[in-house]
Structure 1
Amino acid sequence: MKFDLSILAKHIPFLLEGAWLTLQACTLAVIGSLVLGLAVGAMRTSASPLLNRLAAVYVDIFRNIPFIVQLFFFYFGLPEIGIYIDAFTTGVVALSIAGGAFTSDVIRSGILAIDPGVIEAAQVSGLKKSTIFRRIILPIALRASIRPLGSVFVNLILTSSILSTITLNELTGSAKIVASNTFRPFEVYFVLLVAYAALTYTVSILIGMLHRHLNRHQAEGAV
């Protein structure tokens, strides 16, 4: 068989639509998982046993159930009890909830790694707990967690390919349709492979740049 990418030329707009849908879903899911992760991470480091336990249960559940099972529950299961959500919203919500469980662990680790002396100094200065968390603890924890958070976000992008199983024509779903129409799965999935590699590599580079920017003062002080 001759390798020929030219046969995909007329399908490029359709594939780009799928890529744009993937980008939208992943962007919203990253934001959602970060918000959830921050809330749950704060709960897991809270002095309240109830909040701590609730957060731990959430993390245990969504870290130990296959994502495709979670996705099918939201998309195929919830309508049985009268809750109907479109495929795109379902995908974003499912990715956000699943990603939030992993993000919360990263945030929690970042919070626990903070020097207790920093927090004690802030308390002595008379700052409120909410102010200390918002202005001191959270920025330090996020700065230390950028790289592991980047790994979580890259994994979300890769996991988004499963959204094609609920009829969402994101990048993978679009590629499946093109492959079935052209009978050229090798070329189609080669392009898909390259597209995901380029997307995740770009995100990794951006995360690395952000990490260096946020930690530039530490690097300068070490010189």
Structure 2
Amino acid sequence: MRLDLSILVPYLGFLAQGALLTAQACGLALIGSLIMGALVAIARTSSSKWLRRVAFAYVDLFRNVPFIVQLFFFYYGLPELGIYIDAFTTGVLSLSIAGGAFASDVIRSGILAIDPGIIEAAEVSGLSRRTTFTKIVLPIALRTSIRPLGSVFVNLILTSSILSTITLNELTGTAKIVASDTFKPFEVYVVLLVVYAALTYIVSILIGLLHKRLNRDLIDGAVA
């Protein structure tokens, strides 16, 4: 079988638009996931039993239900209740909620790993619990959790391919259209495979560099 990629040349612009839409959705979903994850992590480490129960229920629900089911619920189910959301917003919202469930575990672990002496020192200095948490605990937890949070982001990129099922022409959605137009699915999906692999690899490298930069003092101390 001869691999002929020249048939994709006229569709490069169209595929680039899909890639851009994927990048936009994933970028917004990353921000949403971090916000959701931080809020849920705070609730899960709260002294309030009610908050902890709600947070655990959220995590258990969205970690144990297939993402495509969640996506269909928001896109096809909510209109039955009179709530209409466009495909792009639905995709970002679904990715943010699902990603937040996983991010909360990572951030919570980062919070619990903080040396209690740091918190005690902040309290002795007269800082309120809220200030201590927002200015000291959470930043440290996020800094030390960069690498595992990077895995959550990579998973968001891969999961975003499912958004094509709600008529959103992101990277996978545009690839489906091109494959249908050209009758060359092998060539199209070979390129798609390479693009996703390259994208996630680049993101993983960037996350690693960011981790080293933010934790340079800890790494230098360990080497010394």
TM range (shorter): over 0.9
**% same residue:** 74
Report deviation, 1:135.
1.4
Match of 1:197 in 2: 197
What pairs up with 1:1-223 in 2 under 5 angstroms? 1-222=1-222, 223=224
Following the alignment from structure 2 to structure 1, what is the Cα–Cα distance between the partners of residues 30 and 221?
32
With normalisation by structure 1, the TM-score equals 0.98
With normalisation by structure 2, the TM-score equals 0.98
Report deviation, 1:220.
1.7
Following the alignment from structure 1 to structure 2, what is the Cα–Cα distance between the partners of residues 221 and 81?
56
Gaps of 5+ in 1: none
Report deviation, 1:200.
0.6
Counterpart of 2:102 in structure 1: which amino acid?
F
Following the alignment from structure 1 to structure 2, what is the Cα–Cα distance between the partners of residues 205 and 164?
27
**CA shift digits 1:140-184 (9 cap, x unpaired):** 101111111000010000000000000000000000000011011
**CA shift digits 1:93-143 (9 cap, x unpaired):** 000000000001100000001111111111111101111011110111011
Gaps of 5+ in 2: none
Report deviation, 1:198.
1.1
Q: Please tell me the root mean square deviation across aligned C-alpha atoms, in Å.
A: 0.7
Following the alignment from structure 2 to structure 1, what is the Cα–Cα distance between the partners of residues 140 and 18?
37
The runs of at least 4 consecutive aligned structure 1 residues that moved more than 4 Å come to none
Give the secondary-structure state (helix, strand or coil) at the position aligned to 1:104. Answer: helix
Following the alignment from structure 1 to structure 2, what is the Cα–Cα distance between the partners of residues 121 and 67?
42
Report deviation, 1:67.
0.2
Following the alignment from structure 2 to structure 1, what is the Cα–Cα distance between the partners of residues 18 and 138?
35
Counterpart of 2:48 in structure 1: which amino acid?
S
